[in-house]
Amino acid sequence: MSWMPHVTVATIVQDEQCFLFVEEQSLSVSHLVINQPAGHVEANETLIEAAIRETLEETGWIVEITGLLGIYTYTPPADPDCTYYRFCFLAKALSHDASRPLDTGIERATWMTLEQLEQTARARSPLVTRCVQDALQGKHYPLDIIFEQPLFNASPDLLNA
């Protein structure tokens, strides 16, 4: 197998000392793991759109992205041919729809402190804990650090100009 990059997003939503997490199924272990709302960027989607969508689909929370926490990479020890590039965003919770069905594989959304997360020893990857630690340290980058070329329907002549 050849090396495969995966572009993912994650969202840090904080309320006082608690953070929004999901308990989800993992193909690599038999127990539920804990993760930030996170997932892959889809075709024709910006990083910010992906972060908002994943948070809603996995938790029922509508959020406003307020900043970029950081860019992280992770290569699972069991799969050295796969590297995840995680764009982790900071977000503010706006509203919650408790009746919204959650994505397949998501058991529930839950709020925890960093200490509670660490006590579970069920973080999906080391990035889950690291992102919370970075948020608590106040790391924050403005969203205009990201430039994403907008998609538009233009004639081939304009695209080659």
The domain ranges of the chain are 6-158
Kindly report the CATH class assigned to 6-158. alpha beta
SS3 at position 130: helix
Q: Under a CB-based contact definition with an 8 Å cutoff, are residues 8 and 54 in contact?
A: no
Mean pLDDT for back-to-back runs of 10 residues, the chain (161 residues): 85 97 88 96 94 98 98 91 94 97 96 98 96 98 92 53 44
CA distances from 12 to 52, 57, 88, 93, 148 (A): 11, 15, 7, 10, 21
pLDDT given at position 29: 75
pLDDT given at position 158: 46
CA distances from 14 to 2, 59, 61, 84, 126 (A): 38, 14, 12, 24, 19
pLDDT given at position 161: 44
Q: Under a CB-based contact definition with an 8 Å cutoff, are residues 86 and 74 in contact?
A: yes
pLDDT given at position 94: 98
pLDDT given at position 152: 63
Query: How many whole angstroms separate alpha carbon 44 and alpha carbon 42?
Result: 6
pLDDT given at position 159: 47
